[in-house]
Amino acid sequence: MKHKRKRKAETIFQRWFLDNRFSIVLLNILLFFLIIWVFNKVSFVLNPAWVFFSAILPPLLLAVIQYYVMNPVVDWCEKKFKIPRVATILVLFLLILVALIWIINILVPIVQNQINALIKNWPHIWNDAVNVTQNALQDPRLHEVKGSLQHMIDNTQKTLFKSGQSTFAATIGNISSAVSVITMIVMTLLTAPFILFFMLKDGHQLRPYITKFVPEDWQASFSQLLYDINRALASYIRGQITVAFWVGVMFVIGYTVIGLPYGLALAILAAFMNLIPYFGTPLALIPVLVIAIMTSVPMLIKVLVVFVIEQGIESRLLSPLVMGNKMEMHPVTTILLLIGASAVWGLWGVIFGIPIYAVLKIIVSRVYNYYRRESDVFKETEAASSTTGDADQVKTNNTK
């Protein structure tokens, strides 16, 4: 009798605690926040590690981005033509060096002249835009919205003025920070090519090397996990850079054809802004619209036509062909993720939020699938569902 009660108590404990989904979820959440609390208490130990990581991150990040762009060419030449990897890498480096020399000697001076002229003339362009808007508000038909539009213009001017003041003050007050930033940029440009060379040369051996440190029972699953993460990052980085490049090319052609002032600089800005999904191109269009309005009404119409054509080619042909649905993210998820990441980490969150989310999604999915496969909670649920299904099937057969 006593043995039966003890067995019953153990069964209740196991049912309501050990094998209960809600209890397990709460326990995992508790452990998660406990780990965060422990890391917060020992932050003085982790600070040197963070300083070390932040120092090596810029060249490593630049090398990783270049690796994902160049590695397919190296692999293709090795598999298709049996060309040694080192030879292909050296040829690619030489081509990049030639391209950089061309950019520095030909493209940079043109873009620099346009940017300098745009910075010099932007206050006049903005004042003209404000005057045109205020003159348009004199129309009696816009009397109801005049106050709100005037308030918006005043707030924008104040915000721009304050931003300019704070930026100037920060620049004057942080000369040492500027020097450290310049030093970091120089060190990144000097060390990234060496990291990239060895990544291209031996990068394909990294996954087997890391997998050896995992227990044998988990090596196959861990290797597949690394493969999925690598494929997701490669698809995203290659796709974003390819789409951004062709967006810049399309805008260069379009702005050159319509004769838009500062067209090359604005097209390059649009290419870089396109790295921000959904929001980048509309944000890059704002200065274009202001300049077009100040030029002439026909120029504004031409700019809108170029934008519509570019968006049609990008959304209907370029993005589906290059990106497809490789990230497997719903547009609403992407937008909410960008908003949240920008609020927490600013521009870096906007740029790196999606790939970090993709990596975490792969890891969490695999951990969940492993837990679902090994846990008794889901086994009991599946068994109960199977029993219910068999009973329903028997009942149906008896009815027949």
pLDDT digits over 212-232, tens only?
998 888 889 899 999 999 998
In a domain, 381, yes or no: no
As a whole number of angstroms, the distance between CA 374 and CA 378 comes to 8
In a domain, 218, yes or no: yes
- Comparing 256-265, 273-282, 360-369, 380-389, the range with the smallest average pLDDT is 380-389
In a domain, 396, yes or no: no
Summarised one tens digit per residue, pLDDT across range 94-140 is: 999 999 999 889 888 988 898 888 888 887 777 777 777 667 666 66
Query: Domain residues for 27?
Result: 7-41
Summarised one tens digit per residue, pLDDT across range 67-100 is: 999 999 999 999 999 999 999 999 999 999 999 9
Cβ neighbourhood burial of 93 (10 Å; 0-12, 13-18, 19+): middle
User: Which DSSP letter does residue 315 get?
Assistant: I
Q: Which pLDDT value is given to residue 39? A: 80
**Residue bearing the bigger pLDDT, 374 or 287:** 287
In a domain, 170, yes or no: no
As a whole number of angstroms, the distance between CA 239 and CA 279 comes to 17
What tokens were used for 155?
A: 């707030």
Percent of the chain whose predicted confidence (pLDDT) is above 70: 75
Amino acid identity for residue 11 in this structure = T
**pLDDT of 2 over the 50 cut:** no
**Average confidence (pLDDT) over 15-20:** 64
In a domain, 33, yes or no: yes
Q: Which pLDDT value is given to residue 16? A: 65
- Comparing 10-24, 112-126, 239-253, 262-276, the range with the smallest average pLDDT is 10-24
Of the pLDDT bands very low, low, confident and very high (cuts 50, 70, 90), residue 171 is very low
Q: Which pLDDT value is given to residue 229? A: 92
Task: Tell me which residue has tokens 């030093």.
Answer: 183
**pLDDT of 172 over the 50 cut:** no
Summarised one tens digit per residue, pLDDT across range 346-361 is: 878 888 888 889 899 9
What tokens were used for 271?
A: 């290419």
* Mean pLDDT of the residues in the chain: 80
Number of Cβ within 10 Å of residue 366's Cβ equals 16
Calculate the alpha carbon distances from 152 to 76, 127, 135, 159, 262 in Å: 55, 15, 15, 10, 27
Q: Which pLDDT value is given to residue 150? A: 61
Plot region of 261 (φ>0 → left; ψ -120 to 50 → alpha; else → beta)? beta
As a whole number of angstroms, the distance between CA 55 and CA 391 comes to 63
Q: What is the DSSP string of 157-198?
A: HHHHHHHHHHHHHHHHHTHHHHHHHHHHHHHHHHHHHHHHHH
As a whole number of angstroms, the distance between CA 256 and CA 253 comes to 5
**Average confidence (pLDDT) over 361-379:** 78
In a domain, 220, yes or no: yes
**Average confidence (pLDDT) over 269-275:** 91
Quote the number of domains for the chain. Answer: 2
In a domain, 357, yes or no: yes
In a domain, 31, yes or no: yes
